[in-house]
Chains A and B, each alone.
Chain A
Amino acid sequence: MAEQEWMSEVRAKVGREYGRVYAWDEVNAPMIRQWCEVMGIDNPLYTDAAHAAASEFGGIVAPPAMLQAWCLEGLHMNNYAPGSTDENPYEVLKMMEAHGYPSVVAVNSDLSFERYLKLGEKLYYTTRLDSVGEEKTTALGTGFFVTLIMSFFSQKPAGDEKVGQLLFRVFKFRPANVPKPAEKGAAPAVPKYKRPQPGVSDDTRFFWEGVQAGRLLIQRCTCCGTLRHPPAPVCIDCHSFDWDTVEASGKGEIHSFVVMHYPEVPPFEHPNPIGLIDLDEGVRLVAGLVGVKRDEIGIGQRVQVEFQSFDDGELTLPMFRPVAG
C-alpha cells in the first residue's frame, strides 16, 4: 500500500541530529544514594567512599542504569537546563499525532556504557532520529515504531568525551480499542488473567467432567467398539449414534509438539510446550506438556497424564509429563 503523503515529511527527518540537552546537576553522591535506596541496590561502589576509593575508579561512581536520569528536565515539562536546545527530538511524534496516531508506548530501552561516571562530571546528550518503521498493526493498534539514539557526553576541557548511549524505541499508534476511562473512585485493581474455559457441549461434557474427577475418558461406539477423540455424536466407522466411554490409562507418546514463544499471552508460562499425544488406546489428543525441557522434547517420547488445577480450582486440565520409555 502506498504510504500517505504526510509521511514523506516524517521520513525526510530520519537521520536528523538534534542539539544538546544538558544535565541540571553534575553527577553527585546524594542523588546516587537516593536512587540506590529506592532501587534496593547496596553495591558499595556507589555509596561507600572507602570501598570505591580502592576500586579502579578511585572513588564513588554512578550506577550505570542512572545514565538517562541525569539529563531529564525534572518537575516542569520541557524545562531543560540552561544552554539546552529548543529543538524537539520528538517532533515526528507530534506530526503523527496530528494525523490520527495519538497514543505512544515505549518498547525498547537499550543502554550501553563506555565507562562509569565519576562524581562531578557534567553531562549532556544529543539525539538522532534513527529510524521510522513501516506502518504496522499490533495488538495495541496501528502505527509506527520510531527509534531515537541519544548519545551522552561528559564535558571535558580537552574535548568532550562520549560516555554512553541510549537507543529508545516507541510505538506511536492509533489504538485498536479506545480505553474506557476508569470509573471514578472505583477500587483500582491489577487485572487478573485466567485461563480460558473450554466450550462444553452435550457431546463433550463427559470428557470435562471426567477430567474434573481425575479420569481421562475416551468415547467408544457401543455398536462396533471404535474409540474416537475429540468427542463427536456419530461413530466415525459405523455411523452409530450409540456410545459410552472407557477410561484411558493416560499413557502414550508424543506424536508431535509445538513450543509457543511469542507472543507471551498471560497467564500462560512461556516457553509453552504443547503436545499432540498418541494415547496407547489408539486415539490422539492435544494437551499441555509439563516437566519438559524445551531442548529435550522429542517425537516418540513416552508420557503419562496428570491432572492440574488452575485458577483456584475453576479449571482442571489433563497435562502430560515425560516418563522413562
Chain B
Amino acid sequence: MTSKNSKRFDDVRPGEALPELAIPITTTLIAAGAIATRDYFPGHHDMEAAQQLGSPHVFMNILTTSGLAQRFVEAWAGPAARFKDLRIKLGAPNYPGDTMTFSGEVVRADAASREVDVALKGKNSMGSHVTGTATLVLP
C-alpha cells in the first residue's frame, strides 16, 4: 500500500533501505498483469502455449514487472514523489507458486535537483527476477 505520507528529500539519506515487499506470484497475477498492460502474448496467460516455449508455466511479462517495481518504490516514497525514470534488467522468470521479494536502497541523493536514485532488486526462488534503478524527485 502506498503510504499517504510522502518522503521528503531532507528525510532521505544514501544507504537508507526500503521496506521489503513480498509479492506472491500466482497465475491470476501473471494473466491479469499481462491483460492490464495490453500484452496478450500467449506465454503470459496460456500454460500450454508457455510449455511449448519450454517454460514450465506461464511467466510474468515485463510491463507487469515494471508496474510492480513502481509499486515497491512508491509504497516507500509516497504519492508526492515523481518518477524521472525506471530502469530494469530482467533475470530469472516469475512463475506461479513462487514469491518475489523486493528489496532496495537509496544510492544517490542530489540536493540541487532533489533527485534520489533507488537501487532495487526483486528476488524469487531462482535468483534475481529484476534488478534496477528508479530516479525520483522528492518534495
Contact = CB atoms under 8 A, between A and B. Distances in A.
B121 to A, nearest CB: 9
Nearest to B82: A116
Contacts of A267: 125, 127
B71 A40 contact: yes
Nearest to B21: A40
Contact of B85 (A45, A73, A112): A112
B67 A41 contact: yes
A108 B89 contact: yes
Interface in B80-112: 82-92, 95-98
B105 to A, nearest CB: 12
A41 B65 CA distance: 13
A6 B138 CA distance: 49
Contacts of B36: 31, 34-35, 37-39, 69
Contacts of B51: 181-182, 188
B117 to A, nearest CB: 13
A190 interface: yes
Interface stretch (A58-66, A235-243, A247-255, A274-282): A58-66
B122 interface: no
Contacts of A77: 40
B87 A110 contact: yes
Interface string A32-69: 00110111111111000001000000000001111011
A265 B123 CA distance: 12
A191 interface: yes
A190 B37 contact: no
A69 B55 CA distance: 24
Contacts of A88: none
Contact of A266 (B68, B87, B127): B127
A41 B70 contact: yes
A323 interface: no
A65 B66 contact: yes
Contacts of A64: 70, 83, 86
A111 B85 contact: yes
A38 B60 CA distance: 13
Nearest to A168: B62
Given A39-B70, A108-B89, A193-B127, 11 more contacts: A35-B37, A35-B67, A37-B36, A38-B36, A40-B68, A42-B1, A64-B86, A65-B67, A65-B83, A109-B65, A264-B91
Interface of A: 31, 34-35, 37-45, 51, 63-66, 68-70, 72-77, 105-113, 116, 167, 179-182, 188-193, 264-267, 270
Which 3 residue pairs spanning A and B have beta carbons closest together? A179-B54, A182-B51, A112-B85
